[in-house]
Every structure is written in C-alpha cells, then in structure tokens.
Structure 1
Amino acid sequence: MQQFDVVIIGGGPIGIACGLEAKKQGISYIILEKGPIVNSLYNYPVNMQFFSSSEKLEIDEIPFISKEAKPKRNEALEYYRRIVTSNQLNIHLFEKVVDTKKQGDTFLVKTDKDEYVANNVVVATGFYDLPNKINVPGEDLPKVSHYYNDPHFFASQKLIVVGASNSAIDAALECWRKGAEVTLVIRGSEVGPRVKYWVRPDIINRIEEGSIKAYYNSTVKEIKAHEVIINTPEGEVILENDFVLALTGYCPNFTFLKKLGIALSDDPKRLPTYDPETMETNVDGLFLAGVICGGMETHKWFIENSRIHAPIIMNTIKNKNSVGRG
C-alpha cells in the first residue's frame, strides 16, 4: 500500500494545479481521476467556447496560447494534457475513488483499483457529474439527456431545451443552426443574465424573429414518448417532440462530502465548511479546492479565481510537515 503526504481527488485543472504545486514544494502526492485528464472538460460540448480568456485559464503561470482570445474546448484539452505529460505528474487516470476514511492521523483512500494512505486529502472534484433533475414523469426516457455534446445528432428533429444558462442557450443556437426545430422552456422571465455577452443578443434575436420558440415563466409538467406537456402562464401546452435536453445545471456530490465528515450549511446553498486562509475543512487534513467550495453556488468559483487554492493548500501542508518534523 503506497503512502503519500497528500492524495488529490480529481484531475481537473485545479487538481492538476495542486499536483504541480505539491511537486514544486517537494510534497509527495498522487492525483486520482476517474476518467481521462480533465474529465469534466472532456465531456463539455465539442464546440464549446470558454467565457474566460486563455490567460485566465492558465495554471502555475504556464502560458496558454489560443487562436482566439477566448479558447475552445479542444485547445483547453491540449493545454492541460501537455501540462500533465511535460511535467510528468503522478496521476492515475480511470481510477475512481470509492471510499475515503480517516484513521487516526491518516486517511485511507480506496479506489476501484487500489488503496492509498495519505496524511492529507484534497477534494477537487468539481460539480459536473450530478445534473439537477427537473423531477417530472418521463425524465428517465431515452429521449431525455442532461448533457449536450454535438448538434448534428438533433438535425431535423423537434428539440426542447430546458434552461436559460450558457449550456442551454449554446445548445439551442447550435442545434437550430444544424436544422433542429428548437423550443426553449425557461423557468424565469428572461434569458439568463449570466449568458455569455456575445451569445445573449444572438438568442434574443432568434427568439424575437420566431426562429426559436421560447416559453418564459414556464416549466415541464410531463415528458411522453412523442410529446411534452409544459405549464405556461396561459395554461398547459402540449408540444410535439423527439428529444429533450434538460440543461438545468449540476451540483457537487454532497453525499460524498458528508461521508467524508465535511459539515454543510443548512440553507439551500449547502456551502461546505472550510477555512479560506488554508482551504482546510472542519476535518483536520482534509482540504477543498476549486468550484466544489461554492456548494450550490456553482457560478461562484471558476478556474481563474480558484487556481490560487493550490499554493494555499500546499503551503499549509508544507508548514504542517515542518512543524511535525520540528
């Protein structure tokens, strides 16, 4: 059984940043990632363009050069993959953490392939794995997906997109441009205010000209094999339908966090407890890094403002090691 100063759970950009910082400071580490390098980014839509400019996605001051000011998914995959390989980071891919328990002063981390002992654990798992369900009859039908990949699949189909955020609006526009008949179902009174500033006018114009139908202040009531029933201010509306993209956001794995012993706030934000000065949770030696720190406020933390978590955490661990040896 291998032992490390720190086990980093999650091989996304912030998990990679933590590995880089650990290596720089002489802290023994391993990164455990259940999928490929930057698994969440890999599962983003193939044509996705980031809201942030390339320099804001950089980690450890390693330059990120992109063709446009705001890079696309494939450029980000290339950037982070090159960082991992050129720095020979100790990362195990396609190895899923199934259990983590504190035993005295150390942690036992079990995966589907091996077991590890660590003095510290960093959870940098993001929030992209668990979609926010709309909880209506028919949501489990094969025609319904909470993830969107390629617009070609929906060409010439009647598509309903549920949501008003960046992911929903991007999907609606791309699928419409590939020939889908697109209808948006939006819970609020307008397109989401956080939608990318160069995209929001585009979707509003498409709606106003009638190219894309939008139902505001509306929700899905039931999904059937060939139709969808929605509740609107004017009453129920039945729409013919082939596919549904329920792009209503994602949430952290709170069950996993609670199992680790991390205290969560009782309000709807479900904020995890941690010290912003060290990123250490209420469990000694257990740290949080990246977007998972925001609980349900998934818009609060991004790569650009959470990459600082890596040096904060590793400095804390290094200081602990120094005190221990002293």
Structure 2
Amino acid sequence: MTSPPQRPRTTANDRRPAGRTKARAGAGEPLAASWNPTAEPEVVGEAEDFEDEPRRPRAGVASRYGWRIYAVPLLVVISALAVFQTVRPTDGDASTEQQAAGGSATPEQPLVTEAAPGQEYGPELFSADLPPEGGAIPETGARTFRVLPGTSEVVGTGQLYRYTVEMEVGIEKADPNAEVEFGHLVQSTLSDPRSWTNPQGATGSGTISLQRVDASGPSPDFRVILVSQQTAREACDYSNGVPYDSSCRKGEMVYLNAARWVRGAVSFEGDLGSYRRYAINHEVGHVFGNKHVGCPAQGGLAPVMMQQTFSVSNNELHELNKIADQGTKIPADGFVCKPNAWPFPIP
C-alpha cells in the first residue's frame, strides 16, 4: 500500500481554510514605480538679475509643477497595478469549475489519494472479525430487558406471529436515539414484503403474518432484543462456540448483539443499514424453523440464512464449522456470494 506524501506538521494557528494556498512560487512581483521628487530639475532660460528690480526667490518644485507632481506618480502606480493584474498567470492546475466559481488553486501535492490498483483499504481482517472502527460498543448492561413502545397492523396472511421489540436496560446510554431507531428498523424490516411475510414464502400450510405488540398488548410469540456485547456472548455460547461476536436465537428470544449493531460485519463492506436488516431477518428466520445454509452459486446473492456475519465464503464457513458445528455442513467448494439482507430480495 503506497504511503501518501508526508506533509509538514502544522499547528492549529497555521491551518488555513480548505482550498487556500500560498502565492505560487515564481510569480512575478508587482511592477514598482520609481519617483524622486527631490531632484532639482534643470532651469532653462532663467531671467537675469536687474539691479533696479528686487531678486525673487527661486520657485520650489511643488510651486513650479503644482498638482502635477502628485498626479504623475499616482498614475504610474495605477498603471503598474493594472498591468500586474492583466499579465498575472492563471492557475493552470485549477479545475474549470473552480475558475468559474472563483476558487483558489489546488495544492501542488494531493492531500489524500485513492488506493493503488490491487490494494485494499485497512488492515488485513478475517471476515468473522468485528470491524475495528465504528460506533461505541455497549459492552455491558443490566441483563434486564424493557419492551419498547410501538405496535403495528397485521402484515401478511397465514399463521399469525406476534413479537415485541425490546432493549437491555443500560445500553441506551451509548446512544440516546437508539431506542427509537432500533424499534423503527425492526418493525420496518419485518413489515417489508422482501421479508418473511412475502407470499412466495408459502410452504405446505401457507404463509405467515406478523404483528408488533408492546407491553399493553397480548403475549408475544417471540421477542427481538438488542443486548450488550457481554450479554450476547453469554447467550450465544461465545466461549464454547465460534469465538467471534454474533447474534443468536434461543427459544422465543432473538438476541441482537449491540457490538455488531454498531460495527456491522466485514462481509458487508461498511453497509451498516443492510447488515442490520440482515441480522434481524436471519435470527427471526430461525424462529420459523430455518437452518443455516451455504452459498449456492459463485457470485450470487447470499441466502439470508447463510452466516454472513462470519463470511460469505463457503470455504471460510467450512473452517469455522471445524471449531464449532453450526448445524449445517458447508462444502469447501470455493463459492463466494454477495451480501444480502432479505429472504426474498428483488431480482
């Protein structure tokens, strides 16, 4: 990975607004007018002295030339400035848009450059690693859960499953808006026709329908809960299973790991919104009896029940299964899929 050019360090007082640069090296100095009003001009044809006429004092420069002594140098300076503005070279490396908008010249050296061909951004990460950059991770909580307010109409047709959206007490301190955002995203994801209520999902007895309820409503069939990193590790067998942060479903409890919620997964390449929808759909998919699957075809969309939090590569999931069996044998066939958040994605 090619290192960007080193720039001299600056202090806060040395920084200039974006786009500002010093005058270009080699630009000519402004033309300067030279004027010496103290020099005595030569007097031609001075009148002779007459004894019968008193001698008059010699006229000074100002009295001899009057206002012209000030006007002439002023005109020279104005002309010099006009010539300088006219002949000053334009910034040859400035974009057309900058010139049209009056922007300043671009720096001689780029402030930041794109990656060279064949190089990748960031350190080498195993696909199952938790991305090192992102929001603050809620590491611990109170291990008690609070039902968030909010309900929905019944979405879909078929057997009805009611669910609540909950959050572990204490983790909302990391983000005061987390409750509203989490509740909205869970409900909008499960109500989306690309999710599990899609009519194409009929198997045997028919499709399903979903409805969000809260603490004032009937008992839920399953609970979608955002929990701290430590609570998720305890619930999802981090110590005895695959040693990477993940979410899981245990009975009626769908635990979504807050560490993944704020950092996502390497396989989603920074698309945090799509990863969050994937995590919801994947874990709720287990509620309906779906097991893990592998990538079915090279370069295709990953099935939502593929363990995309860990990888979209069959070979890597095959190796992880050697550490802890994930319930489905994944062949080491070299297939690599594209990340996907939906059970029924639009083609």
**Which structure has the highest strand share of the two?**
1
Asked which structure has the greater CA Rg, the reply is 2
Higher relative contact order (CA 8 A, sep 6+): 1
The TM-score, its normalising length taken from structure 1, stands at 0.23
The TM-score, its normalising length taken from structure 2, stands at 0.22
